[in-house]
Amino acid sequence: MNIIKIKFVVPLLVFFLVVGFLWHGLKVNPNHIPSPLINQPAPAFTLPQLFSPNEITSRDDFIGHVTLLNVWATWCNTCLEEHDFLLKLSNIESLRIVGLNYKDDTSLAKQWLQENGDPYHIVAVDSSGNTGIDWGVYGTPETFIIDKKGMIRYKHIGPINATIWKKTLHPIIIQLRNETL
């Protein structure tokens, strides 16, 4: 009697264990790789600015502001998808949005911003993609939230929209604004 019970119960348990694993696997997006840079100081960089190439931008520019660093490129179609929302953010919120133009053609990038509108406070130009690697960028668009001390506090992979803003990004930004330097 006991052995018969085990014969039924053990395979059933194993079955539910496997189902549990697979069920979990369905919900995980393999393209979302957690960044080890969260709660780390922003990686150092010195890059020219898109509209004034003689001026340099670095991570020191993050100090004292809550910043949204948005990684984009003209060849990235999804970037155009989130662009309208970024424009809205730049109007409504008193938030600094810094662009990182990733592996792009400078003149195309300027033209793109003139045609589609420019939500960025500063655009840093990373034509080689080396700064992107330092920041762990593996797909555009990516958006980092950087606090007043220059620490990376959150990373969003993929386009941002009203829902993501309301649910995730905005609460984090409010919290970071209230932090003292």
Partner 1 sequence: MNKCFIFFILLFLNRYSIAAEDYYKFNSHKDQQRFASLTSELRCLVCQNQTLAESNSPLAEDLRNQIYIKINSGQTDKNITDYLISRYGNFISYRPPLDSSTVFLWFGPFIIFIFGIFYLFYIIKKNKQ
Would you tell me which residues interact with partner 1 (CB under 8 A)? 30, 33-37, 43, 103, 129-130, 132-136, 138-139
Minimum distance from residue 150 beta carbon to partner 1 (Å):
17
Minimum distance from residue 3 beta carbon to partner 1 (Å):
9
Minimum distance from residue 33 beta carbon to partner 1 (Å):
5
In the complex with partner 1, which residue's Cβ is closer, 99 or 132?
Answer: 132
User: CA 110, CA 112: separation in Å to the nearest integer?
Assistant: 5
**150 token code pair:** 């220059």
DSSP character at residue 35: P
In the complex with partner 1, which residue's Cβ is closer, 112 or 135?
Answer: 135
User: CA 157, CA 144: separation in Å to the nearest integer?
Assistant: 9
Q: Cα(first)–Cα(last) distance of the chain, in Å?
A: 69
Q: Beta 56-58 vs 46-48: how paired, if at all?
A: antiparallel
DSSP character at residue 51: S
* Residue type at 6 in one-letter notation: I
In the complex with partner 1, which residue's Cβ is closer, 21 or 180?
Answer: 21
Minimum distance from residue 92 beta carbon to partner 1 (Å):
33
Minimum distance from residue 45 beta carbon to partner 1 (Å):
13
C-alpha distances in Å from residue 40, one per residue of 155, 157, 174: 12, 17, 20
Distance from the Cα of residue 156 to its chain's centroid: 3
In the complex with partner 1, which residue's Cβ is closer, 8 or 138?
Answer: 138
In the complex with partner 1, which residue's Cβ is closer, 81 or 134?
Answer: 134
